Structure 1
Amino acid sequence: MTDRPPAVAEAGKASPRRPRWSGRTRRDFFVFLALALPNLALIAVFTYLPLINNIYYSTLDWTLGSASATVVGLGNYITFFTSPDAANVLGTTAVFTLVTVGGSMALGLLVALALNSKVRGTTFARSAVFAPYVLSGVGVGLVWLFIFDPGYGVLAWLLRGIGQQSPQWINDPQLSLVMVILVYVWKNLGYCAVVFLAGLQSLPQDVMEAAALDGANGFRRFVNMSLPLLSPTTFFLLITTMLSSLQAFDLIRIMTPLGNGTSTLIYEAYLQAFGAFNRAGYSAAISVVLFAILLIITVLQLRFVERKVHYS
């Protein structure tokens, strides 16, 4: 019986396997833990733990400051959705969110188109447009409250100069909501403008020049080419601005302290906990409702809206 050739014998041998837990792999794993664990611990302590506690508090009949509480299960949720104020709060939240998101994005896109032109002074204009976004919401609210005040505000003084009376921006519930929406859009359109401007400047110029050579005018290039190519930017802004609007608090708190026509979900939760009622459990239930709405909107956007996004 002849021996196998050396080449065949070598091929028949199993190649040595690299150990799965080598020294380098172990070192990389510990480096990952050293970098990730502090961040994960902070997220767990300051995000998920308060969320779990808030869900638990929402099942209690608890007055803020009281040493005792009664478990009521879903009683707070039933009370909220069966109360006559629920429809008003949810409707105000929907109107505020839709108008502020749509207004900020539409005006931001128009401002971005203007700032994208190569004219003198655009650098200063970009800074001026973006400045309100980084200002304190409390400071912005106080300044605009002075402007809208129907008694001694700047707008009332201008209207009296032409023989007109100032609308009751603060006392009329409908006008109060309009006032807060206008200020919120003014404050946040700079953010949308800067993000849209970055998207416009990243568009492929060779494609735009080819379309211009084919005879497409500026409007057709914008509608048929720029807007589809801006869909990732639009999708990003849609998510961020909607989540921000649903959680808007500082301007509402400063400009309408009693929530006169401006009681969104987050502000209603604040009024119930820290206003005259001190209903901490009921406030926690409203906060959980807001969290559920935020989660559903985000999932729906990622599930359906992203399908229409054109990534390059």
Structure 2
Amino acid sequence: MNNYAIEEGQMTATQSPAARKSRISDLLSLSGATGPLIGLLLLCIFLSFATDSFMTARNLLNVLDQITVLGIMAVGMTFVILIGGIDLSVGSILALAMMVMGYLANSVGLPLPLAILAALAVAAFSGALSGLLTTTFAVPAFISTLAMMSIARGLANMITDGQQIVGFPAWFSMLSFTRYGGFLTVTVAVMLVVFAIGWIFLRYTSGGRSLYAIGGNPEVARLAGINVKLFTVGVYLVSGLLAGLAGIVLAMRLDAVQPTAGFTYELDTIAAVVIGGTSLSGGQGGIVGTIIGVLIIGVLRNGLNLLGVSPFTQAVVIGVVIALAVAAESFKKR
């Protein structure tokens, strides 16, 4: 008995440091943040030497302002990719939410806060519909969200026959320009709150763990008692809702809404999530990596602008970065 106790104690003592190391390793691998973080730091070091204005406080605040829309959308896309899905409709849903808000507020005369709630409801419904197509009718996520991309973009154009809507209350646009405490705008604060909620959900709730389980193996997750269909619909609903919220934030920045807004945003959103280390096959990744991926794209675009690189070349550079990120993921798996 005593020998067993001693041996057990020795095993515990021996495994404690390893267990602590394992927990740290699990945290890093859960977020996939180690490699992207190194890449972000190297990028910042390079740009700080390549241009004098990159490391200024004003420019860094501008980077934060510029990534708000992408950052909000990327949280929803992280959830989708974690379960092994994909959402190609977020850019179109963003435009649809903007047009619904603008039409209800400017043409119908609905108070702007109510118009915003209606726009978010439409965005959430659009996302949920994609999830229902995927789960109920067994339509591949690529096809169901591709169809929703076309539907949402068409509806956004139909609302005003392709015309933009301008002119919102002054307080609305000022939310993206007024810096409280000298550095924090409301739009950036909204992004940070979305980041925090997403991280807490994935890290500390059973629902977050269920997303990892579904992404790892949906059938095993179902046998373990997880309602895979319900979670899938919920994830696409949240992705649509956050795309709508990103549309509201973009309307604040532009002080206008137009049906062409958000074109190709889904590609940038997927790129940020993948660059941040979330696996396209599902089950691996997290919000920390996504935040870093969003920052990489934001810093890269900002730095290339400061260096005077043309938008066409920027597209090539970002495409190469995406390809390298996916290749690095495949190499890591091997």
- Whether TM-score is above 0.5 comes out as no
| Structure with higher RCO (Cα < 8 A, 6+ apart) | 2
Radius of gyration: which is bigger?
1
Q: TM-score, normalised by structure 1?
A: 0.29
Going by fraction, where is helix more abundant, 1 or 2?
A: 2
